[in-house]
Structure formats: structure tokens, C-alpha cells
Amino acid sequence: MKDLDRLAPVGSPERAMLEQLPPERLPRHVAIIMDGNGRWARGRGLPRVEGHRAGIRAVRESVEAAARLELDTLTLFAFSTENWKRPRWEVRTLMTLLKEYLNRELRTLVDNNVRFRPIGRIAELEVEVQEGLDKAVEATRANTGLLFQIALNYSGRAELTDTLVAAVRLARDGALAPESISEDWVTDHLTTAGVADPDLLIRTSGELRISNFLLWQLAYAELYFTPVLWPDFTTRDLLQAVADFARRERRFGGVLEGGGEAPEGEE
């Protein structure tokens, strides 16, 4: 049973919204491009890093809300391969905040039955960050609730390139025949292997782009853009996105059932 009381208090508009949502219309996997930390800070006359610090509350809240909604997977884009272009001090602060988050939140992740999984070129991150990630993966390995994927040093093109390189290596060694490469094979050799594609992609801060996130996996995701800056994103915003998703018609290139009578002589 979903933990509705802790998601939205009785009598609140969100609660009414939630109660009207048929469970089968909820997304199973939500992916979020967490954007707008810098603008949030600038709007307050603060340095950019204060925006990143403030963004951690939104991470914590979204993970908890996703767990209470009983989503299968929440994937958060935390650091892209392109983000290395930022000033060194900003990158350093982001890595420090990540380590702090892992230290502080691990207990909560374990207690909420959340399974943690980093995706991206993790081996290129500093050793201390890798150790923190490994520890979180290990501590949550046996959990059976929400899968929380965090994309770090991630980009969709880098991921597809790595998969291509792996395929060529296998083929060179005689372990993979070109005919056996299918869409399923590719899906099973991405860093997200074993995880169903996102149903819903949310991007905060009003930008209308994908920024190299999950290019393969987002093929049929529903897109939701909100002007809310990431540090201001709350459970309520997540529920609004989910409610919007629930109203959409997904066709995957087909037609809806009962999509019209066939002409005479056609099936």
C-alpha cells in the first residue's frame, strides 16, 4: 500500500489528485534532469555552489516521494560528462557534496528499502567518490524497493560509444556475431541493463532540451518540462508531473484499442 499520508496530507489538493490516479496509470520509471541550481543561487545573490547545496534537499525529497509512490525506478542526472567544462572549484564542490550526501543519506536509503546504483563512467571519478558509491551499492544491494539510479559522469553518447566499443571487442574475439546484435542486445549492454526504460522524463528550470541524457532509453518517454528551479522542486511538483503523465495517451507508434473500424475487406 502506498504511503499516501506521508506523501500528501488528507484534505490537500495533492491528496485529492493522488486518490484520483488509477495505479495502473502511474509511471514505473521516472527520470529527472535536475537543472537550475546556479540560477536559484544567483536569484538570491549567492554563489552557484549554494544552489547545489540547496538542491540536495530536493534530491532527498524526490527519492523519498518516489519510494512512497512505489515507483520501480528513479533516475537522477547529477553530473554529465560535459559538466567537466565547469570551473574546477565548482566541480570539486559537486563531488564533495556527493560524498556528503552518500555519508548522510545512506542510512535513510537502507531504511527505506531503496537500492542504489550509479550509472556513467564511474571509473573516471576520484577514488574517494568511487569508494562512497561502492559502499552505498553494497549496503543497499539486498533491498527490494525503489531502484535509485544516479547518473554521474554520464552522457548518452558516451554510453552508446562504450557499448559499441564493447561489441567490436567481442566480435574481434569471435564471441559475438553481427547477426546476433539486436535492439535487445544493445539494451542489455548499456549501463542501465536490466532496468525498464523511463516512462516519464522531467526537466526543471524551463530548459527544453535533453542535454545528452539517456538517449537510447528515452526513445518513447513522455516529456515534462517545468520552470521550477531544482532547489525549489518538491513532492508536490513530482506529483503534478505524475498526474500530468497519467492523463497522457501513449501509443508507441500504434493506434489505440478500438481505434476505428477497418474498411471493408481489411482486417
Q: Given the complex with ligand IPE, which of 13 and 43 has the nearer CB atom?
A: 43
Q: Which is nearer to ligand IPE, 33 or 239 (CB)?
A: 33
Q: What CA–CA distance (Å, rounded) separates 228 from 232? A: 6
User: What pairs with residue 118 in β-bridges?
Assistant: 150
Should residue 80 be labelled a site residue for ligand IPE when binding is judged by CB under 6 A?
Answer: yes
Q: Which of 229, 236, 202, 234 is nearest to 41 (CA)?
A: 229
User: What gap in Å lies between CA 145 and CA 73, rounded to an integer?
Assistant: 9
Tell me if residue 72 is catalytic. Answer: no
Closest residue to ligand IPE, judged by C-beta, is 38
Cα torsion angle, 44, 48, 50, 53, sign: positive
Among 7, 69, 78, 146, binds ligand IPE (CB under 6 A): 78
Catalytic residue among 72, 83, 232, 244: 83
Angle at 159 between CA 156 and CA 162, to 5 degrees: 150
Instruction: Fill in the amino acid letter for 266.
Output: E
Minimum CB distance to Mg ion, residue 190 (Å): 24
Among 8, 66, 94, 221, binds ligand IPE (CB under 6 A): 94
DSSP class of 24 = G
Is 112 annotated in the active site? no
Applying CB under 6 A, which part among 79-87, 113-121, 132-140, 238-246 lies near ligand IPE? 79-87
Judged by CB under 6 A, the residue of 7, 18, 35, 237 near ligand IPE is: 35
Q: Whole-angstrom Cα distance, residue 35 to residue 52?
A: 10
Among 164, 169, 207, 251, binds ligand IPE (CB under 6 A): 207
Q: Pick the catalytic residue from 35, 37, 153, 237.
A: 35
Q: 73 CB contacts (<8 Å, ≥6 apart)?
A: 28, 29, 30, 146, 147, 148, 149, 195, 196, 198
Q: Which of 29, 79, 114, 239 binds ligand IPE (CB under 6 A)?
A: 79
Residues 14-33 binding ligand IPE (CB under 6 A) are 33
> How crowded is the C-beta side of 16, counted as CA atoms within 13 Å?
3
Partner from Mg ion, ligand IPE, none binding residue 107, C-beta < 5-8 Å depending on class: none
Distance between CA atoms of 267 and 263, rounded to whole angstroms? 8
Interatomic CA distance for residues 62 and 50, integer angstroms? 19
Long-range contacts of 173-178 (CB under 8 A, 24+ apart): none
By beta-carbon proximity to ligand IPE, the closer residue of 26 and 119 is 119
Q: Which stretch binds ligand IPE (CB under 6 A): 1-9, 73-81, 128-136, 170-178?
A: 73-81
Q: How far apart are CA 208 and CA 39, in angstroms?
A: 16
DSSP letter at 261 equals: P
Q: CB-wise, 40 or 245, nearer to ligand IPE?
A: 40
Counting residues that bind ligand IPE (by CB under 6 A) gives 18
Task: Work out whether 36 is an interface residue with ligand IPE (CB under 6 A).
Answer: yes
**Judged by CB, which is closer to ligand IPE: 15, or 60?**
60
Query: How many residues comprise the chain?
Result: 267
Binding-site ranges for ligand IPE (CB under 6 A)? 33-39, 77-80, 83, 94, 205, 207, 209, 211, 230
Catalytic residues: 35, 83
